[in-house]
Amino acid sequence: MCGIIGVVGRKQNAPQLVIDGLKRLEYRGYDSWGVAFSKRTGLTLEREIGKLEESGARLKQLAAERAKLALGHTRWATHGGRTVANAHPHRSCDGRIVLVHNGIIENYQELRDELKAVGHRFQSETDTEVLAHLIEAARPDTKTLAEAVRLALGKIQGSFAIAVFEVGGRELVGARRGSPLVIGLGLDQAYLASDVPAFLAATRWVIFLEENDLVVLNGGRPVIRNLTTNKIVTRSEVQISWDAAQAERGEHPDFMHKEIFEQPATLRRALGQPRRELERFAKLIHQAYGVFLVGCGSAYHAGLTGLYLFSHLAKRHVNLAVASEFPCYEEFLTPKTLLVPISQSGETADTLEAVRAAKRRDVKVAAIVNVQGSTLMREADQSLLTLAGPELCVLATKSFTSQVALLTLLAYTLADQYRAGRNLLERAADELDAQLAEGTMASQLQALARTLKAREHLYTVGRSLNYPTALEAALKIKEVSYLHAEGFAGGELKHGSIALIEAGTPVLVFASRDHAEAEILANAMELKSRGAQIIGIAPRPNEIFSNWLPVTDLPEAMPILGAIPAQLLAYELALARGLDPDKPRNLAKSVTVK
């Protein structure tokens, strides 16, 4: 959710690097931002409400300042409203401690009352400011800032990723518990950030901090200690496979457009998984006595697709849970169970909580994840990387289809048909490549979006493998265009949902040439007879369809082939309604708090 970027080193360009980093963290979602630079002449602190682009002239001035130590933060309002006073960075009473924080301090009110009782004055409503005052209170009794930070964090209940400096100091101190923090290792500078894209243009060498790590950065070799024991710990350096170009828009108008059109390539990258890794993963599923897939949002829809694929192709029963509801299933876990968490970021709080609950019961964890070195990847016993590259639009597009591609390949591998699965997905990627390059689909969807932009409601319907796709399509449309959309199973329409249909109601119908085709077309006819505008996403036309969006006739690949026209429709609806598709309101890319 919120974004952290800190820079320290020998060069005087830290302000420019922090502002560049904040721009690369915008995808995480925010409603205010702030920066702080420690200079020879004192402190520069700037905080604003709104987007960075709204302060273009001031940002140029700030970027031109000279400092070796700087912090930046993008904030979503949680504790305290959307005000300048509540924006980060926060300072201590004496102004010397400067701090940014992601997470939730659960006992902040109790600590705030204690600090106020001994004379501390608060300027904001946030839980974060408490930590700045706690560090200030501990500082006179400690030799280093890091020790004061460690003592202050010992009083905190909750989650945090923090970056702190002392005005006039030369060190940047960071710590994490329950919220991600990663170090970037440059030649003359070190970086501390919530996510790799913040500094990817400068370095691909990183260290992922573990739970309860505290780090001191000064531009040289990081010193990392355990918060509890205060002992030095060793963490591995990792070279990230992403490059800076993947985190740039290039010639595309926005990241959502870029990431939709990247999908033929990202599907092929997903297929680049070594066969032996897929077979190892499939063996865990085969040997398990009870398998649970868990995910949130689009990852949950990918999991639902996986459930159908494992049943249909591999004749294997698996369970599925929304990660936040997984506590309802914990009593059924045994050491023979396998948990399969699905996540783009690998930092989703509810998904990680499910993983930790499973680990407490000695359950094996085999993850499907996009971000190399993420918390999920480190905590899982085995992982498959989707290899989709950085996804900077808030909405999941290429990460969703890559997750579905891996689940499809796993189902075929379980059925001892790996080659058939690979051939299917290679053909799907080729067909998508041709379709997207031709441009007919995009122009057709632009015209359709213009006719739908003023509608209040839109519904999506599917059966069997197309039901999860219908759910995902509805999620994409409401996320980015704010048009109310709901997805239904075709067989459920008569159980209440059909009451919503009136003359002109648009309904997306996903219809493959499979065992469910006749039934979903019958559902579409029922809807049309009640006045619905039927938009068919199908391999062949039908007189029922008011609009037809053609897809290739590959039923087992329909969850991928059908998702992309839905993504493009959502995108075009956002543009038609004058909205920014990369930064939908109230949403964050990585939901790292519960």
- Say how far residue 458 (Cα) sits from the centre of its chain: 25
Please give the Cα distance from 224 to 240 (Å, whole number): 20
396: left (phi over 0), alpha (psi -120 to 50) or beta: beta
Task: Please list, in sequence order, all residues whose beta carbon lies within 8 angstroms of the beta carbon of residue 419, skipping any fewer than 6 positions away.
Answer: none
155 is catalytic: no
Neighbours of 472 (CB within 10 A): 30
Residues in the chain: 594
- Give, rounded to a whole angstrom, the gap between the first and last alpha carbons of the chain: 11
Candidates 325, 323, 404, 324; CA nearest to 370 is 404
Structure tokens at 535: 């938009």
Closest CA to 393 of 208, 246, 578: 246
Pairwise CA distance, residues 203 & 197, whole Å: 10
The two beta strands, 364-369 and 338-343, are parallel
Measured distance CA(157)–CA(505) in Å, rounded: 49
* Residues forming a β-bridge with 320: 293
Q: Which two tokens stand for residue 523?
A: 């559902």
Distance CA 508, CA 364 (A): 39
Contact 197, 206 (CB under 8 A): no
497, burial (CB in 10 Å: exposed 0-12, middle 13-18, buried 19+): middle
CB 511 within 8 A of CB 517: yes
User: Contact, 556 vs 309, CB < 8 A?
Assistant: yes
> CB–CB of 303/295 below 8 Å?
yes
Please report, as a single letter, which amino acid is at residue 410: L
CB 11 within 8 A of CB 202: no
The answer to whether 359 and 387 are in contact (CB under 8 A) is no
Residue listed under structure tokens 């632009």: 446
What is the distance between the alpha carbons of residues 11 and 14, in angstroms, rounded to a whole number?
7
The residues with which 382 forms a beta bridge, in sequence order, are: 366
Contact 316, 310 (CB under 8 A): yes
Of 143, 336, 589, 594, the catalytic one is 589
Task: Identify which of 303, 288, 294 has the alpha carbon closest to the alpha carbon of residue 337.
Answer: 288
Is residue 348 within 8 A of residue 296, CB to CB? The reply is yes
CA distance 117 to 419: 70
Q: Are strands 457-462 and 506-510 parallel, antiparallel or unpaired?
A: parallel
Active-site annotation holder among 2, 296, 476, 478: 2
- Answer yes or no: 328 catalytic: no
- Residues with catalytic annotation? 2, 589
